[in-house]
Chain A
Amino acid sequence: MSKDIYVVVEQRNGNIQKVTYELISEATKLAADLGEQVVAVLMGYKIADKAQSLIHYGAQKVLVLDAPVLEHYTTEPYVRGIEYVIKNYEPNIVLFGASSIGRDMAPRIAGRVHTGLTADCTRLDVEVSKYQEYLRKATNLPEEKIMALDTSDRNLKMTRPAFGGNVMATIVCRNYRPQMATVRPGVMELGEKDTSRTGEVVMVDAGLTEADMNVEILDVVKQTKKAVDITDAKILVSGGRGVGGPEGYNPLRELAAELGGEVSSSRIGVDSGWIEKDRQVGQTGKTVHPELYIACGISGAIQHQAGMEDSEFILAINTDKFCPMMQLADLGIVGDLKKIVPALTEAVKAYKAKKAAL
């Protein structure tokens, strides 16, 4: 019988990626609802010493697949490793990070073992009562539709955005096992690390050899991020008349770098020659819909709004409490951007340092 929640560990150069710990934290909650265990599947080369940290986040068991062919991620050996685990251990649920690696591996596995896979999930539920509570809070579904759900349904309910985030759908995989999902990094809450937790570490020999490689890695290059097109940026720190001049964008650049975003501008910054034209947001510039748009000293003329009003979260920093941008913003800070932006950069830095120390 299919049992337990398996989390496929993502490691790069031997470093376990944060999304793995997020998945283990989430799996721990789901496992409690199901009365099952959390099992981490760690694949790599000379990697067994990393198993303990997975236990510290809540894995009760770690399966370690250690082979030279698993040193760097390539599709076939990794897929074979997980295929072996699925066939021999019969998991109920298998979770992957929705990274460029997880999204390469998971569909191939689902195709091979014949099961369902849901991509880029942002919420997972087993318990119907918890799922109903979520629907009531986060949707406009009518109560009778919510009440009509079968409360004895123990399938994994995988909720994800589709159509560019315009529709949410909850997907189930009723007739096939394991139920598989890739989960968006940064969405699931990271649980507390507890070094007193103990668990079992099992070395698994999946019989992987060089012959399982059907591609050849020529090199692996780590890159510092280059400037991206502002329409691709998830976070934009945008400056307007309020920045005052070309050097006024520097604090914005620092904040953007700290947040992993890009700098953009309203028309005035471009027309005044303070910043390049390809950074302009608005009707005559580019239309953006980042996850976070920080409007610094932008009053929010309708021509500018046309280019950014669909941003998921808008933060406005402006001295004028009543300007249109402040009315559009999800969060407005009334004050001088020259003080607030550097202070915010510091606060973000401090927050990240605090989090890294945990």
Chain B
Amino acid sequence: MKIIVSIKQVPDTSGKVAVNPDGTLNRASMQTITNPDDMNALEAALKIKDETGCKVVVVTMGPPPAAGMLREALAMGADEAVLVSAREFGGSDTYATSQIIAAAINRIGVEKNDIVMCGRQAIDGDTAQVGPQIAEKLHLPQVTYAADIHKDGDTITVKRMLEDGYMTIKVKTPCLLTCIKELNEPRYMSVSGVFEAYSKPLTTFDYEALKDDPLIDKSTIGLSGSPTNILTSFTPPQKGAGMMLEGADKATCEKLAEILAKKHII
């Protein structure tokens, strides 16, 4: 049995985000990290590995430097890593991305007892679409927003969060789960893990390696194969000048409630 964890290297948007004058993101000036939800997915996989001794394979699509992030995952305890990287894959939207990652996962192979895990969403795009779309392409049942995962043979019981509560869902392997932060606290890399990370296998799948998969068709991957395109991008509206109200009376507070309502807060 194995668990395949799809992870993404993202700019750290929790720090200061630099924007170019033309409204695009100045990626060069930002630190990169492993997407936080993906860390929870990896930790969930490693926990199951601790209990069952299964194999954990991490996969990412990105430019060659993303290999550094894969080494970190290996240092945390993953057994194998796969970097999916090719010029043909660049500029993909979520549809195209999921086709490519699904093809890579097909190449790794999903067997009857396997699980595929993803983070709920990446902090750069914030779409939460790639996980379900990979599940669709691999014809696997999905459970998103997983806050608790229990594995019992080929049955997985998942606490799936909703805005106003949760559902407990039973699903059979193979399946795909997307994980949220409530699930666990990701572990640190260990010193011995860091040493071992460099002797563990890290494979690169380029276009040639995946091109025979039916999902890899030039018309459905990369920038030109993406159903969605960016029409314009810009920086959000600047803050207006501060306003001041005086007096602690009812009228002031009613006005305030109206302002909050206009901002869709209440």
Contacts and interface: CB of A to CB of B under 8 A. Distances in A.
A222 B132 contact: no
B17 A163 contact: yes
Interface residues of B, number: 81
Contacts of B254: 347, 350-351
A215 interface: yes
Interface string A150-175: 00000001000111111111111111
Contacts of B161: 100
Contacts of A206: none
A177 B96 CA distance: 16
Contacts of B19: 166-167
Interface stretch (A38-46, A104-112, A263-271): A104-112
B11 interface: yes
A141 B234 contact: yes
Nearest to B229: A172
Contacts of A103: 128-129, 144
Interface stretch (B60-68, B192-200, B206-214, B235-243): B235-243
A26 B126 CA distance: 23
Contacts of B123: 163-164
A235 to B, nearest CB: 7
Contacts of B236: 138-139, 161, 165-168
Contact of A167 (B25, B94, B169, B250): B25
A171 B242 contact: no
B25 A111 contact: no
Contacts of B243: 330-332
B133 A110 contact: yes
Interface stretch (B41-49, B73-81, B256-264): B256-264
| Interface SS majority for chain B | mixed
Contacts of A274: none
Contacts of B135: 108
A187 B246 CA distance: 29
Interface stretch (A87-95, A239-247, A335-343): A335-343
A170 B227 CA distance: 14
A178 B27 CA distance: 33
Given A75-B142, A352-B266, A171 B228 contact: yes
Nearest to B166: A221
Contact of B253 (A321, A330, A343): A343
Contact of A344 (B220, B228, B256): B256
A214 B133 CA distance: 16
A169 B147 CA distance: 30
Interface in A209-242: 214-223, 235
Contacts of B157: 218
Nearest to A321: B244
B7 interface: no
A219 B254 CA distance: 42
B250 A347 contact: yes
Contacts of A108: 132-133, 135-136, 142
A346 interface: yes
B227 A216 contact: no
A73 B14 CA distance: 33
A333 B252 contact: yes
Contacts of B136: 107-108, 111-112
Interface residues of A, number: 89
Contacts of B14: 164, 287
B240 to A, nearest CB: 7
A300 interface: no
B239 A351 contact: no
B25 A173 contact: no
B28 interface: no
B144 A100 contact: yes
A330 B128 contact: no
Which 7 pairs show the lowest CB-CB distances between chains A and B?
A: A116-B227, A111-B136, A164-B13, A116-B228, A335-B248, A107-B129, A119-B127
Interface of A: 12, 72, 74-76, 99-101, 103-104, 106-108, 110-112, 114-120, 135, 138-141, 145, 149, 157, 161-176, 186-187, 214-223, 235, 259, 287, 291-292, 313, 315, 321, 326-336, 339-340, 343-344, 346-348, 350-352, 355
22 contacts: A103-B144, A107-B130, A108-B142, A110-B129, A111-B95, A114-B227, A116-B227, A119-B125, A170-B230, A172-B231, A214-B141, A215-B169, A216-B171, A220-B167, A222-B165, A223-B166, A313-B265, A326-B244, A330-B242, A332-B243, A340-B253, A347-B257
Interface of B: 11, 13-14, 17, 19, 23-25, 93-95, 98, 123-133, 135-137, 141-145, 157, 161-171, 220, 226-240, 242-250, 252-254, 256-261, 263-266
